[in-house]
């Protein structure tokens, strides 16, 4: 589920709530969801929360890092208990049947890792190992170094791949997933089926703008909640209210009123407007 904007929104929420907290206990309810010795995290303090692509990191003292990947259905929800009641209760009773790991802090607040499909994971590693885990990832599209030139160079490593499939390749660009790949192609006016080798300079420029624009809009609206995604406080995101094509098969294009088409590309559902995207 969560793509760059969703993980970024979770990161911003956690930064406000868990920096300086001390881990008291880690409760692993589903063993495949947690790799490493969870006991090592006990008594360690949260120093920093960060994101790289769709990975979420929590740096602890003692040179430890909790690395998260939410895959399709992962959730990271923080609940601070005041007067016996959670401060917010958007997500119902916690833990629930998809809760896989609970991190208890010394002040009795808790961080829940929920994941219906069990594809996601948490790894406890030494901070020095983080780079090794993330080294295959391409550039961060919302950072300053992400120029049209860098973008073009990266895409050209996959000349025979359809544009939308290339955007999903984390080695080329970090953090774009199925929703934002569809939206980026729409915003660029580019047919998602076109091969990379078919693009000209102008196309790269429009696509670059589309990728940055779609992701920025995603962050601005707090991410996309088709079914599972919630932020660190358990609240939904509203980007899909503003989406032009994703999940809008047969609905009318917001620009030209043509019904939105859905096809398969690289095995994934792909939405686009046959009129606006060429």
Q: With binding defined as CB under 7 A, does residue 138 bind DNA?
A: no
User: Contact, 175 vs 215, CB < 8 A?
Assistant: yes
- Indicate which single residue of 177, 192, 210, 234 sits in contact with DNA (rule: CB under 7 A): 177
Q: With binding defined as CB under 7 A, does residue 254 bind DNA?
A: no
Q: Is 157 a catalytic residue?
A: no
Round to whole Å and give the CA distance between 184 and 208: 8
- Give me the least distance between CB of 119 and DNA, in Å please: 4
Instruction: Count other C-beta atoms under 10 Å from residue 271's C-beta.
Output: 24
Q: Is 248 a catalytic residue?
A: no
- Minimum CB distance to DNA smaller for 46 or for 177: 177
Active-site residue, from 11, 51, 54, 100: 54
Round to whole Å and give the CA distance between 119 and 36: 17
Round to whole Å and give the CA distance between 125 and 133: 10
Longest alpha-carbon distance in the chain: 62
The residue written with tokens 């934002």 in the block is 180
User: Contact, 248 vs 226, CB < 8 A?
Assistant: no
- Minimum CB distance to DNA smaller for 72 or for 142: 72
Pairing mode of beta strands 74-79, 81-82: unpaired
- Minimum CB distance to DNA smaller for 21 or for 33: 33
Q: What is the CA radius of gyration of the chain?
A: 20
Q: Is 3 a catalytic residue?
A: yes
Q: Is 254 a catalytic residue?
A: no
Q: With binding defined as CB under 7 A, does residue 48 bind DNA?
A: no
Q: With binding defined as CB under 7 A, does residue 227 bind DNA?
A: yes
Catalytic residues: 2-3, 54, 268
- Which residues in this chain contact DNA in the complex, by CB under 7 A? 1-3, 6, 32, 53-54, 69, 71-73, 97-98, 116-119, 136, 157-162, 165, 168, 170, 177-179, 223-229, 237, 266-269
């Amino acid at each position: 589920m969560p793509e760059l904007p969703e993980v970024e929104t979770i990161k911003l929420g956690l930064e406000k709530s868990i920096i300086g907290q001390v881990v008291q206990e880690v409760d692993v309810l589903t063993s495949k969801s947690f790799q490493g010795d969870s006991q090592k995290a006990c008594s360690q303090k949260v120093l920093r929360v960060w994101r790289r692509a769709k990975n979420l990191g929590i740096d602890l003292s003692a040179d430890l890092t909790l690395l998260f990947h939410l895959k399709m259905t992962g959730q990271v929800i923080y609940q601070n208990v005041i007067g016996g009641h959670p401060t917010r209760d958007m997500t119902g009773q916690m833990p629930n049947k998809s809760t896989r790991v609970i991190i208890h802090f010394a002040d009795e607040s808790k961080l829940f890792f929920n994941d219906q499909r069990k594809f996601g994971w948490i790894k406890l590693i030494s901070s020095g190992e983080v780079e090794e885990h993330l080294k295959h990832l391409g550039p961060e599209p919302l950072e300053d170094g992400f120029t049209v030139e860098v973008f073009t160079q990266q895409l050209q490593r996959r000349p025979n791949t359809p544009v939308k499939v290339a955007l999903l390749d984390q080695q080329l660009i970090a953090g774009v997933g199925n929703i934002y790949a569809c939206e980026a192609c729409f915003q660029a006016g580019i047919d998602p089926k076109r091969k990379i080798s078919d693009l000209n300079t102008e196309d790269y420029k429009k696509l670059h703008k589309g990728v940055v624009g779609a992701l920025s809009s995603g962050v601005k609206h707090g991410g996309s909640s088709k079914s599972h995604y919630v932020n660190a406080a358990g609240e939904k995101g509203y980007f899909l209210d503003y989406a032009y094509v994703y999940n809008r098969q047969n609905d009318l294009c917001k620009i030209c009123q043509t019904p939105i088409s859905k096809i398969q590309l690289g095995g994934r559902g792909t939405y686009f407007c046959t009129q606006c995207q060429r």
